[in-house]
A and B are shown apart, each in its own frame.
Chain A
Amino acid sequence: MSTAEHFVTKTGTEKTVSLKPADSFVSKFLRFLCSVRFGVTLLVLLGIACFIGMVVMQQNVAGFDRYFAELTPSQRLVYGKLGLFNIYHAWYFNALIAVLSLNIILASIDRFPKTWKFFSRPTITVPLRWLREQNKTAELQITGNVEETRIQVTEAMKKAGWRKVKTAEKNGTTFVLGQRGLWNRFGAYAVHVGLLTIFFGAFLTAQTGTTGQMPLAPGQSTDLIFETVVDLDKASQLTKQLPFTIEGVDIQQRLIKKEGSLSAMNTIDWMTRFTIKDETGTHDAFVQMNKPFDYRGYRFFQASFVPVGRARSITLNAVPAAGGEAQQIVIPRGGSAELPDGTVVVFSEFRGNFRMGNEDPNEDTSEYPNPAAVLQVSRPGGPREAAYAFGAGLSNIPVASKPIGGYTFQLADFEKVSDQHVLAVQRDPGAAVVYVGFLLLVVTLIAVFFFSHQRVWAAITEGPDSTQVLFGGNANRNSSSFEEKFDKFVVAISRFKAPEGERNANERIEKTTGE
């Protein structure tokens, strides 16, 4: 004897009513855990937690120290105790996501057998009263016997796109079921698999990923990255070692307005060339904005720059002190050039805001108020001497006209670049898994929302003068397009000719619709 009975509800969904005695606490709890209701509650809680995280500034956001300083002591205490300043990493937030994942898994397992039935045991024979209550129904009286009508209806269903047709007989009524898009019933599971894959990828990222930043200038070499760790309004740096060494080769900043500053808003692109050295040899690498570079599972991104004005190359006018024509030379950053008389000019340093004495390393000179190049000049066989080449703003100061190595130098032009580019370095084994989840989600969302499982039944009954056919159907989504198709199908059926090829003059359509 069966312990459960199946009922077909008015809306067409099947209900199983258990006839077992009261369930144990464990089964009640499990049922609660896998219920969609619990899932919706978790979604709401997750939404609330996320919203709190939006409203209460998080400690990793720039400007948090100012926000924190403006809070009252009691706010700091309460928010801090509740973990609201770092809510997305709070234990209860992670627990919420873990329980939601569990709910998704259990709810999917719980509902899968019912969905599988659509495939394994499609409902062909249905109560006529239920059929009449479907979204779309129609009733026809057709000339011809039941078998001929069945064949015609089957053909029409296939022509209409409901290609999977099954027939069965019950209590003298022949039922024909046509359907399409059965796979759509499984779409929700695929969406959930996609979501779980993303959660798993995020878990991998959190557990095995590493991240950090690396300031880099041409000629600099390092195998260290630095991660900034924020704890409320205090920040500290973690140093991590890479399994290879990076050496800067060249950095370049492409500006919109050449005469403008190094600001991000005046920049088209940043480019960094470097080499990677490890046991396999030396490898060239190139990174620019939105074009990262991958090596051995590590990814290098263009992150930011140090706003200290330097020059990627300088163009100098070398004016002989003894008179004569000025020589124009172009020297790259850290490079040198030789004048016709053998004098060597080394470009050793560039300052965006020149002052005598040492440079303030924290000064933002990205506007280049007083640009100057510091040179090392050596005549053939002579010692190296420091020289300066100034832009137009400082050309009148005394040091500008002092000859060094037989020349005075003028800064004719220079290509602006910052002191260092900051690369973000990331190793994230979870990203690939997350991308797989994304792909699954996109494909299944499109499949779920733009296609539907459509079912149409025809109940064929022998009448006194003609064969009566009751049609009914439903779709789990996109009901309007299904309704259009159903109407076309009914019109097509109504135009059937008699089997002998003669149209019956008395053919009538009797139709009701659900609207």
Chain B
Amino acid sequence: MSQQVLHQPVLISTDDAEEPGVLSSLYSYLPAFLAIGGSLILIAVRLNVGGERFMSDGAAMMLALASYLIAAVFYLTNMYAPFRFAEKLGLYAATLGVFFNLSSWLIRWASTYDRELAIFQSQGLGAEDMPWLFRYVPFANLYDLSLAFAFGAGITTLLIMRRTHFQVVAALSLPLAAIILVLARFIGDDIIDLPPVLDSYWRPIHVGIASLSYGTALVCFAVAVLYLLKDGLKVEKMAIWTGLFSLSVFATISKFSIFAPSTFGTYTASTFMGSSRFALGLRADIPYVGWLIVAAAILLLAAMAAHLISIAKNDISARNWGNRILWAALATQAAGISVLVYQLRNLQDVVSNISPKQYPIFGAWMLQQQEMPQAQINALGQQQLYDIANSWIIQNGAGLHLSLNANPVELSALITAFAGTFFIVLFGINTEKIRSLLPGAEVLDGLMYKLAGVTFAGLALLLITGAVWANESWGRYWGWDAKEVGALVAWLTYAGFLHSRIAYGWRGRRSAYFAVVAFLFVIFTYLGVSYLLPGLHSYA
């Protein structure tokens, strides 16, 4: 009987068997404690030492961005050449990143309070006349939410990194958190006056839960991608999917102008007027960028074709060609982004770069801003719309300028597409070695399930707190607002993830696909709703 029971056992002596200690378990939480504790100390110093000479929230955000990228570099290199020291440096950088990320958010809280205090003081009022402190919690716009979203991703990563074999997740989750911060940088860190309806104690609860849930969803997505890699999903297939994503980004940015027959190869960017941070419906052509994007698209299509052939015919030569072309696409995408950023910062004569085709569009946009009924606008001829725009541009053209802040989502989408290509290129190098260094597929699947469960619970709380807040403010707990529905769709997708595990026994790869799709819905809710769809949440 006993021989039957013994199943190739590993023999260990009692003396060798060490009980996992409470201290070592607590020690594993140290980076998270340090990051949060350090931020609290920093904000205490900020409150006591004073504002103007102290680090601004924007500076802390940039430091967080740099730290996340540095940590990602250490973990990425560690995937190819495992080195304990690099791992440690990565952990330190990740800890610093979370520290600066949270510090930036806390400093912003203090700065928002100081700003309104200065207004009150200028009117002869004092601190005692100020509204309650929670009015200034930085959850007023998409910049604030992005800061908190990146923090949610950062702290979730730090918490799962306490298990050493999960540290590799940071190689993917921290660059994604960095992209969120880049988006925040492009949105701009202007502090806005809080709309009164948002001045509720439900705001920090609701948006705080949103940030942490989105952050967990991001890490769940990163784990899903790593799972797919570990599970043997061909990098060529990943290349095709990311290629499709990049092409859809290229096709939709710049108001669909890049591939439209009448404006083929033209990339346009929104303009600002004077010191206003409101993007006008007037777009200026940015030379070379459109053609670089067209070139990148052609290269991506060629790489996808090569990869399709390699999958269909198991052709190694086609795969190698696909990878080489992907490198070229990566370089072209990098060039496109660089040229775009350079020109947005340096192009002076904006008016001469505005195509006459833009004038009627801008004329109609101006009338829409004046709330003229659409039927009346449609009744006007193109020439009339052109003249309206032309007279405005003659009068105000000198004040027009370009800015990185005018097109935050487009720029971030381009950078995300670049990052997608970058990771595929990276995964294509020594793929089998990366796979062997990743944790076991079952372990990753378990982590993914746990993160999806937490995200599901978080999104449920998000919907509930949002409903309660809406009921307190608007008298209805559900109004089918686009952001509400977006969060509901994401929640339903995670519900589908969890139930398909019960119903179909879907684990592993299918679950990973679910996690990827669910995260896309989260991103759509976070960005798409705010920028593309009208509704009650269009401020954030």
**Across the interface, which residues of B come within 8 angstroms of A35, CB to CB?**
503
Within 8 A of B (CB), among A24-67: 35-37, 39-40, 43-44, 46-47, 50-51, 53-55, 57-58, 60-63, 65-66
Mask: chain A, 472-515; 1 = CB below 8 Å from B; 0 = not: 00000111100010011001101100000000000111111001
Mask: chain A, 291-334; 1 = CB below 8 Å from B; 0 = not: 01000000101010000000000000000000000000000000
Are A515 and B443 also in contact (CB < 8 A) when A43-B496, A53-B480 are?
yes
The answer on a CB contact under 8 Å between A431 and B477 is yes
The answer on a CB contact under 8 Å between B11 and A508 is yes
B12 at the interface (CB under 8 A from A): yes
Within 8 A of A (CB), among B157-216: 163, 192-193, 195-197, 199-200, 202
Within 8 A of A (CB), among B427-453: 440, 442-443, 446, 450, 453
The answer on a CB contact under 8 Å between B13 and A256 is no
The answer on a CB contact under 8 Å between B492 and A43 is yes
The answer on a CB contact under 8 Å between B7 and A299 is no
B366 at the interface (CB under 8 A from A): no
B27 CB to nearest chain A CB (Å): 14
Bound together, the chains give a CA A446 to CA B453 distance in angstroms of 10
B72 CB to nearest chain A CB (Å): 25
**Across the interface, which residues of A come within 8 angstroms of B499, CB to CB?**
36, 39-40, 43
Bound together, the chains give a CA A248 to CA B7 distance in angstroms of 83
B500 at the interface (CB under 8 A from A): yes
Closest to B447 in A: A480
Are A265 and B193 also in contact (CB < 8 A) when A40-B503, A441-B460 are?
yes
Are A290 and B200 also in contact (CB < 8 A) when A36-B499, A61-B534 are?
yes
Are A39 and B503 also in contact (CB < 8 A) when A211-B475, A290-B473, A445-B461 are?
yes
The answer on a CB contact under 8 Å between A139 and B19 is no
**Across the interface, which residues of A come within 8 angstroms of B531, CB to CB?**
none
B323 CB to nearest chain A CB (Å): 34
Within 8 A of A (CB), among B487-529: 488-489, 492-493, 495-496, 499-500, 502-505, 529
A273 at the interface (CB under 8 A from B): no
**Across the interface, which residues of A come within 8 angstroms of B4, CB to CB?**
128
A426 at the interface (CB under 8 A from B): yes
A118 at the interface (CB under 8 A from B): no
Within 8 A of A (CB), among B459-478: 460-461, 464, 467-468, 471-478
B378 at the interface (CB under 8 A from A): yes
A87 CB to nearest chain B CB (Å): 9
State which of A57, A66, A438, A445 has its C-beta within 8 Å of the C-beta of B467.
Answer: A438
The answer on a CB contact under 8 Å between B368 and A66 is yes
**Across the interface, which residues of A come within 8 angstroms of B193, CB to CB?**
256, 265-266
State which of A202, A265, A445 has its C-beta within 8 Å of the C-beta of B460.
Answer: A445
**Across the interface, which residues of B come within 8 angstroms of A279, CB to CB?**
none
State which of A36, A172, A211 has its C-beta within 8 Å of the C-beta of B502.
Answer: A36
A230 CB to nearest chain B CB (Å): 13
A119 at the interface (CB under 8 A from B): no
State which of B20, B464, B504 has its C-beta within 8 Å of the C-beta of A442.
Answer: B464
User: Which of A62, A464, A468 neighbours the largest number of chain B CB atoms within 10 Å of its CB?
Assistant: A468
The answer on a CB contact under 8 Å between B474 and A268 is no
Are A290 and B2 also in contact (CB < 8 A) when A258-B123, A442-B461, A509-B13 are?
no
User: Which of B14, B119, B529 neighbours the largest number of chain A CB atoms within 10 Å of its CB?
Assistant: B14
A121 at the interface (CB under 8 A from B): no
Closest to B201 in A: A290
The answer on a CB contact under 8 Å between A470 and B5 is yes
A269 at the interface (CB under 8 A from B): yes
Tell me if B's interface is mostly helix, strand, loop or mixed.
helix
A267 at the interface (CB under 8 A from B): yes
Closest to B502 in A: A36
**Across the interface, which residues of B come within 8 angstroms of A265, CB to CB?**
192-193, 195
**Across the interface, which residues of B come within 8 angstroms of A46, CB to CB?**
492
State which of B18, B476, B503 has its C-beta within 8 Å of the C-beta of A36.
Answer: B503
The answer on a CB contact under 8 Å between B480 and A511 is no
The answer on a CB contact under 8 Å between B534 and A269 is no
B486 at the interface (CB under 8 A from A): yes
B8 at the interface (CB under 8 A from A): yes
B482 at the interface (CB under 8 A from A): yes
State which of A132, A425, A431, A479 has its C-beta within 8 Å of the C-beta of B446.
Answer: A479
Bound together, the chains give a CA A508 to CA B11 distance in angstroms of 8
**Across the interface, which residues of A come within 8 angstroms of B489, CB to CB?**
47, 50-51, 54
A435 at the interface (CB under 8 A from B): yes
Are A54 and B1 also in contact (CB < 8 A) when A36-B502, A256-B119, A266-B193 are?
no
The answer on a CB contact under 8 Å between B467 and A508 is no
A289 at the interface (CB under 8 A from B): yes
The answer on a CB contact under 8 Å between A139 and B9 is yes
B380 at the interface (CB under 8 A from A): no
The answer on a CB contact under 8 Å between A139 and B5 is yes
The answer on a CB contact under 8 Å between A289 and B533 is no
A79 at the interface (CB under 8 A from B): no
Are A515 and B473 also in contact (CB < 8 A) when A289-B199, A441-B464, A509-B12 are?
no
A424 at the interface (CB under 8 A from B): yes
The answer on a CB contact under 8 Å between B14 and A494 is yes
B17 at the interface (CB under 8 A from A): yes
A101 at the interface (CB under 8 A from B): no
**Across the interface, which residues of A come within 8 angstroms of B20, CB to CB?**
484, 487-488
State which of A438, A449, A487, A508 has its C-beta within 8 Å of the C-beta of B468.
Answer: A438
Bound together, the chains give a CA A327 to CA B502 distance in angstroms of 82
B231 at the interface (CB under 8 A from A): no
B37 at the interface (CB under 8 A from A): no
The answer on a CB contact under 8 Å between A292 and B472 is yes
The answer on a CB contact under 8 Å between B11 and A301 is no
Are A445 and B457 also in contact (CB < 8 A) when A47-B489, A289-B197, A435-B468 are?
yes
Closest to B499 in A: A40
State which of A264, A441, A494, A510 has its C-beta within 8 Å of the C-beta of B195.
Answer: A264
User: Which of A44, A51, A303, A424 neighbours the largest number of chain B CB atoms within 10 Å of its CB?
Assistant: A51
The answer on a CB contact under 8 Å between A66 and B461 is no
B487 CB to nearest chain A CB (Å): 10
Bound together, the chains give a CA A511 to CA B14 distance in angstroms of 11
State which of B440, B471, B534 has its C-beta within 8 Å of the C-beta of A63.
Answer: B534
**Across the interface, which residues of B come within 8 angstroms of A256, CB to CB?**
116, 119, 193
**Across the interface, which residues of B come within 8 angstroms of A511, CB to CB?**
9-12
The answer on a CB contact under 8 Å between A268 and B196 is yes
Bound together, the chains give a CA A269 to CA B129 distance in angstroms of 13
Bound together, the chains give a CA A384 to CA B409 distance in angstroms of 63
Bound together, the chains give a CA A420 to CA B2 distance in angstroms of 87
B405 CB to nearest chain A CB (Å): 19
B86 CB to nearest chain A CB (Å): 25
The answer on a CB contact under 8 Å between A50 and B492 is yes
B381 at the interface (CB under 8 A from A): no
The answer on a CB contact under 8 Å between B12 and A69 is no
A85 at the interface (CB under 8 A from B): no
Mask: chain B, 385-428; 1 = CB below 8 Å from A; 0 = not: 00000000000000000000000000000000000000000000
Report the 10 A-B pairs with minimum CB-CB distance, sorted nearest first: A36-B503, A69-B374, A426-B475, A510-B9, A66-B374, A290-B200, A468-B2, A47-B492, A463-B2, A88-B480
Given contacts A88-B480, A257-B119, A267-B196, 13 further A-B contacts (CB under 8 A): A11-B505, A36-B502, A39-B499, A43-B496, A269-B196, A299-B475, A431-B477, A449-B457, A461-B1, A463-B2, A477-B450, A492-B19, A510-B9
A-B contact pairs, 26 of them (CB 8 A): A36-B502, A37-B504, A40-B499, A43-B499, A46-B492, A47-B493, A50-B485, A53-B480, A54-B529, A60-B480, A62-B534, A65-B374, A256-B119, A256-B193, A268-B135, A290-B197, A290-B202, A290-B473, A426-B476, A438-B464, A448-B457, A470-B5, A488-B19, A488-B20, A508-B14, A510-B9
Interface positions of A (Cβ within 8 A of B): 11, 35-37, 39-40, 43-44, 46-47, 50-51, 53-55, 57-58, 60-63, 65-66, 69-70, 88, 128, 132, 139, 141, 172, 202, 211, 256-258, 264-270, 289-290, 292, 299, 301, 303, 424-426, 428, 431, 434-435, 438, 441-442, 445-446, 448-449, 459, 461, 463-464, 468, 470, 477-480, 484, 487-488, 491-492, 494-495, 507-512, 515
